[in-house]
Structure formats: structure tokens, C-alpha cells
Amino acid sequence: MLAPLLDIGCGEGVFAKVLFRDLIDLGIDPQTQEIVRAKELGQYKELLQCYGDKIPREAGSFKTILSNSVLEHIPDLKPVLIEAHRLLATDGDMYITVPTNYFDHYSFLYQTLSFFKLNGLAEKFRMFFNNFWAHYHYFDKTGWISYLNSVGFDVIESQEYCSKTQGVLNDLLAPFSLLSFFQKKFFNTWFLFPKLRTVNAAILSKVFFPFSKVDKKVKNGGIIFFHLRKR
């Protein structure tokens, strides 16, 4: 990825800390507590508290824009994508991950209700699921491509992942993240003991690697990665 790089919806910066060796030029997020924590992690050269549709930078300021599991949570998404298009340099690249219309089907309860032909309850749970996670946008692959094309992006590459098995497993394991959820809420950090978390994560990754490995041939994945280029 070419610098300068912008991270839209950087959160507390954990993802960037894990993924990038070099510092990211700018991270933006509307939440004060996320910016405070991101500063502590030190993965960004600069951080701004602002919304994604009004980023105070000149047009063409960034060679690369990244947004990981953020866009689906923005009710009025198109202005944010238009702003990203404005900020990208000519032929600049944007990398995003977003859910598809299959993601909300890959929950344990939805699958159970559907198995017993309780389709009405399954549909109500699906609506609850999206409301709980604040998912406003979850198109199929063709729908996402059409949406992205409409604001001036060409799709260079895409990869679906999160199969039904992986989605249901992820949903079943969600209750085990409650401790981290309360740590984040009350202490503004997902991990009170980062070193212990590193050891724990190494063990869990070995146990669950066979289930989490990305299958490049997966169809109807719950999540999709896009490599976009400014038209």
C-alpha cells in the first residue's frame, strides 16, 4: 500500500497495529474515546475526530484509503464514499471489507429457526441481529459492485470469505467476548493484559485455524473484501 494512507473509521487502532509495520499517515473516527486510545497505541502519525463525509484535507491527498468493517455501520453511506473518492489521488486505491446479505443468515439462531421451518421468527431475528450490530448496508456482491461503481470506483479485485460454517462458529463464540466487551466499555481497551492476550491468541489461532482459513473458492460468503480504484 502506497503512502500517504488514510484509515476511515480507525477505532482504537488495534487492527492497524496488527496489520501494519509502518505508521499510518492519518486515522479518523467520530468517537472521542477511540481517538484517545488510538493515540496511546501510537500506530498513526496523525489522528482526527471527525465524520467520514467531511474530512479536512485537500482533494487527492492520499494514495491509499483503508476501511475495515466500518462502512456497513454508516446510515448515510454515499457521502462518505464520495468523500473518499475526492481524497484519493488519481488512480489511487481503496481497500474495504463489508458484510454481504448472507452475513445475517450465518448466525446460530437464524440457522436453527430456519431448520425447524420457523421462517417468520427467523426473519424477525435477522432484523434484530442487524439492528443490534448497527448494520445498515449488506448487499450481495453484485449489489456492492453497483453501489461502488455509482460513486466512481472500479473494482480491481474482490474476495468473499466467512462461509456459513465460519459464520455460525463465530456467532457461537461471541458470548466468550463479553469480558472484552465490558473491558472496552469501562476501561476503553479490549485487552487489560496485552501480553497475556498475545499468548492466548497464539493458542486460539492454532486451535481454530482449520475453521478460520480463507477459502478463495467460497461462494455466498458473509463478508467480502474489495480492492477499489478511483475512476
Question: 162-182: per-residue pLDDT in tens?
Answer: 999 999 999 998 888 888 878
Q: Point out the least confidently predicted range of 14-18, 41-45, 54-58.
A: 14-18
Question: 192-220: per-residue pLDDT in tens?
Answer: 777 777 777 778 777 777 767 777 788 89
Q: What is the pLDDT of residue 227?
A: 98
Q: What is the pLDDT of residue 203?
A: 81
Is residue 59 predicted with pLDDT exceeding 80?
Answer: yes
Query: Average of pLDDT values for 26-47?
Result: 96
Question: pTM to 2 decimals?
Answer: 0.90
Q: What is the pLDDT of residue 201?
A: 74
Residue 200 near residue 158, CB atoms below 8 Å: no
Q: What is the pLDDT of residue 122?
A: 98
Q: What is the pLDDT of residue 127?
A: 97
User: Is the backbone peptide bond immediately before 79 cis, with ω within 30 degrees of 0?
Assistant: no
Q: For the chain, give the percent of residues with pLDDT over 90.
A: 77
Q: CA–CA distance from 177 to each of 41, 112, 171 (Å)?
A: 21, 22, 11
User: What does the alpha-carbon distance between residue 10 and residue 31 come to, in Å, rounded to a whole number?
Assistant: 10
Grid cell 489522528 is found at 47
Is residue 130 predicted with pLDDT exceeding 90?
Answer: yes
Select from 103, 164, 90, 169 the least CA-distant residue to 133: 103
Q: What is the pLDDT of residue 117?
A: 97
Q: What proportions of the chain, in percent to the nearest 5, are helix, strand and coil?
A: 45, 25, 30
Chain-wide mean pLDDT for the chain? 92
Residue 141 near residue 100, CB atoms below 8 Å: yes
Compute the half-sphere exposure of residue 184: CA atoms within 13 Å on the CB side of its CA: 10
Q: What is the rounded radius of gyration, in angstroms, for the C-alpha atoms of the chain? A: 18
Map out the domains of the chain with their CATH numbers. Answer: 1-101+138-163+219-231 (3.40.50.150)
